[in-house]
Structure 1
Amino acid sequence: MTDPIDVDEAVFDVVERIPPGRVSTYGAIGRLVGIGPRRVARALSSGGGAVPWFRVVRADGTVAEPVRVEQLARLAAEGVPVRHGRVDLRTVGWPD
């Protein structure tokens, strides 16, 4: 069985690779690491403060309600277009 800390570190490593002005989804990160999207969310919520967690959104381009205001502000500061509360993953999604 894989050590949970190793899984968290793998998630953080991938999230750190998302370029400024781009976003990824929990599912895309999970596919790169080999885990499910909920496990990605758990890693980021429990210890992802040192990585650009705000560049990870839901599959529909929305953000999580508890961090909505801060996440949208950080994305806007990077020039990520948000329309009606959603990021257009076709234009700024990562990886391509």
Structure 2
Amino acid sequence: MRRGRPSKEQLQQTFEQVLASASEGRLVRTETGLDRPTRDALNAIARAHPNASEELVEESRSAFAGQLDGSNAARWREESDRKIRERAAQLKRSQ
């Protein structure tokens, strides 16, 4: 069992393995260490099998780059914060 966060090299290796698997039509397991945007992009490839386009592959690589540079997590935090603010505003109006 792996402990802690995977290294960038481990993530890169996992991404390449999962990309190859998705290219054969296999959906991505959640416990790969890959984030949701990356898994979603890879699953789009698996679902398109055997007709996955190069565009889908490039989208998965872009999503993975977002995981590595932190932009996927930043977008998730921004969206989460926005939802919390909206919910707080709704609750305040209903009082």
TM-score by length of 1: 0.29
Higher relative contact order by CA 8 Å / sep ≥ 6: 1 or 2? 1
Which structure is larger by alpha-carbon Rg, 1 or 2?
Answer: 2
**1 or 2, which has the higher helix percentage?**
2
TM-score by length of 2: 0.30
